[in-house]
Amino acid sequence: MKKVLALVLAAMMLLVCCGALAEAPEGYPAVVEGIDFGGADVTIYDYWSGEGARKTDPTEEEQLQYDYRDWINATYNVNLSQKQDGDWGSNATQMTNFTTSPDGSLRLYIIEPGSVASLVSGGVVAPVSDKYVDLQSAKWNSAERDFMTIGGKIYGLYSGNSEPRGCLYFNKRVLQEAGIDWNTIYDLQKEGKWTWAAFEEMLKTITRDTDNDGVNDIYGILGSGDDMYVCAVFSNGGSFFDFDADGKLQPTMNSDATISALSWGKDLQAKYWAPTPEGANWDWYKDAWKQGYCGFYMYQTYGGFNDNSEMADMKDEWGCVAFPVPNEGDTYITVVSDNITLIPACYDEETVAKLTFLYDLWTNDTPGVETEGNWIGNKYNYTDERAVDETYAMLREPEHARVNKTLYLGTQNDVLGNSLLWSLGGSTPAELIEAGMPAWQALCDTFNNK
């Protein structure tokens, strides 16, 4: 079969080179006339794929992908490939160095989300072009498109659904021992009734002193307080930073929505959160969760759903739902953070348009290959079907994704850590926000001036 495909492709390439191919093969995107790269190399640089060499014995689906990419190269007289340049912490620097001192090669970079905004504000990134590509199509992730739109221009691309991040795990045994049927949580979520109030009632039931020594030994929740506060803010319609009517980034954490969400989270922590052991590391809760004395766990999806995850050796069975919402019928949210593809700001407009076009082709589903459900992977091995089919599947959809625009100014820890999220135990949200506002405004002013 592979030999037949290769022969067909070779014949097709010959027709392309002779200028005889008027239409694309069935299932392929239509050919756009007038785009010719003159045989140039174009490389998409990421931080994980090594040299990007093709397998010598590919599966049929992999061969179909190779065939499609060969067609792109032949049709547009280009040698397009993807490989690694640097690693997670350095490929943003690689992009900066290249943009500052370009060598004439044609490149795109896939950058980890924490470095994207600094590259944009530093003038390293060119706005992508809609000359040949519909940037408003459903292919392009709407949450990330919103995040990458600055001053009316889109500076980066992410195709497909986001990876859900913040979520709420639950320990089935702990809930059952507290008299809670864990399936009811899924039912509430499905019916749009998984609210802050419903969540609190369960936390109240779970948190208790089982041996009558005057000290609770079962707690309602533990995990990442940062994730809990951020999800609470966005589920309540709040934010920390956003653009004003003039397109200027401004602090927005002084809104009623944000302050009330932070206040609710602070009260939740005081009543139901497992206490931090004296002298514990910041991530003590990862092992504590697996010890089985808490009902819920606030963390990221990769902690449980991914292969070789932190929860892989957990003895108790767990489930997972979205973070609850303030009111019935509100939209469940997860705050996402995806890798973004950027084009260096050292090319003319036409070159940027052609590179945008190539990346659009490169990220298409492979013609003839069924991709629906590929995201599931091994997730059924770790949890129940409802966690995968109802929670994870839902949170992948664009309407549930939010991006924290704090990333424009630096990491969440640097911008909001000591000044807000880590200090809520000792002060009210309003007090902390009033004290931190001058520094946050200064960060925004610097960003806006760039």
3-state secondary structure 86-145: CCCCCHHHHHHHHHHCCCCCEEEEEECHHHHHHHHHCCCEECCCCCCCCCCCCCECHHHH
Confidence of residue 214 (pLDDT cuts 50, 70, 90): confident
Cα→Cα distances 113→84, 109, 392, Å: 17, 12, 21
* 39 close to 77: Cβ distance less than 8 angstroms: yes
Residue that wins the pLDDT comparison between 2 and 55:
55
Tens digit of each residue's pLDDT (9 = 90 or more) over 301-336: 999 999 989 999 999 999 999 999 999 999 999 999
* 24 close to 33: Cβ distance less than 8 angstroms: no
Confidence of residue 117 (pLDDT cuts 50, 70, 90): confident
Mean pLDDT for 54-78 is: 95
Which ranges of 280-338 does DSSP label H, i.e. alpha helix? 285-290, 302-305
pLDDT at 355 over 50: yes
Residue pointed to by tokens 């910041």: 282
Mean pLDDT for 382-395 is: 97
* 395 close to 332: Cβ distance less than 8 angstroms: yes
The backbone torsions φ and ψ at residue 237, rounded to the nearest 5 degrees and listed phi first, read 80, 15
Confidence of residue 2 (pLDDT cuts 50, 70, 90): very low
| Helix and strand counts by DSSP (H, E) for the chain | 17, 15
The mean pLDDT of the chain is 93
* 99 close to 111: Cβ distance less than 8 angstroms: no
- What is the C-alpha to C-alpha distance for residues 305 and 389, in angstroms, rounded to an integer? 12
Mean pLDDT for 232-254 is: 96
pLDDT at 18 over 90: no
pLDDT value of position 203: 98
Query: And the tokens for 1?
Result: 């079969």
Identify residue 326 by its one-letter amino acid code: P
pLDDT value of position 20: 40
- What is the C-alpha to C-alpha distance for residues 290 and 310, in angstroms, rounded to an integer? 9
Tens digit of each residue's pLDDT (9 = 90 or more) over 394-450: 999 999 999 999 999 988 999 999 999 999 999 999 999 999 999 999 999 999 986
Mean pLDDT for 178-207 is: 98
pLDDT value of position 19: 43
Largest CA distance in the chain: 86
DSSP secondary structure code for residue 59 in this structure: -
End-to-end CA distance of the chain: give it in Å, rounded: 55
DSSP secondary structure code for residue 336 in this structure: -
- What is the C-alpha to C-alpha distance for residues 405 and 411, in angstroms, rounded to an integer? 10
pLDDT at 15 over 50: no
Residue that wins the pLDDT comparison between 43 and 215:
43
Confidence of residue 114 (pLDDT cuts 50, 70, 90): confident
* 207 close to 293: Cβ distance less than 8 angstroms: no
H or E stretch covering 172: helix 172-177
Least confident of 12-26, 31-45, 129-143, 214-228: 12-26
Mean pLDDT for 104-126 is: 93
pLDDT at 295 over 80: yes
- What is the C-alpha to C-alpha distance for residues 358 and 269, in angstroms, rounded to an integer? 49
- What is the C-alpha to C-alpha distance for residues 86 and 78, in angstroms, rounded to an integer? 24
Percentage above 70 pLDDT, the chain:
95
> 263-266: long-range contacts at Cβ-Cβ below 8 A with a sequence spacing of 24 or more?
263/428, 263/429, 264/196, 264/232, 264/236, 265/225, 265/228, 265/229, 265/232, 265/424, 266/424, 266/425, 266/428, 266/429
Least confident of 12-26, 222-236, 316-330: 12-26
pLDDT at 273 over 60: yes
Percentage above 90 pLDDT, the chain:
87
Burial class (CB in 10 A: 0-12, 13-18, 19+), 301: buried
Cα→Cα distances 149→146, 228, 242, 363, Å: 5, 27, 12, 20
- What is the C-alpha to C-alpha distance for residues 252 and 107, in angstroms, rounded to an integer? 36
pLDDT value of position 9: 47
Least confident of 13-17, 157-161, 357-361: 13-17
Whole-model pTM over 0.85: yes
pLDDT at 6 over 90: no
- What is the C-alpha to C-alpha distance for residues 181 and 384, in angstroms, rounded to an integer? 14
* SS3 of residue 169 by DSSP: strand
Least confident of 121-125, 272-276, 327-331, 428-432: 121-125
pLDDT value of position 371: 87
- Domains of the chain in start order, with CATH, are 2-161+338-364 (3.40.190.10), 166-335+376-449 (3.40.190.10)
- What is the C-alpha to C-alpha distance for residues 194 and 328, in angstroms, rounded to an integer? 7
pLDDT at 7 over 90: no
- What is the C-alpha to C-alpha distance for residues 91 and 86, in angstroms, rounded to an integer? 5
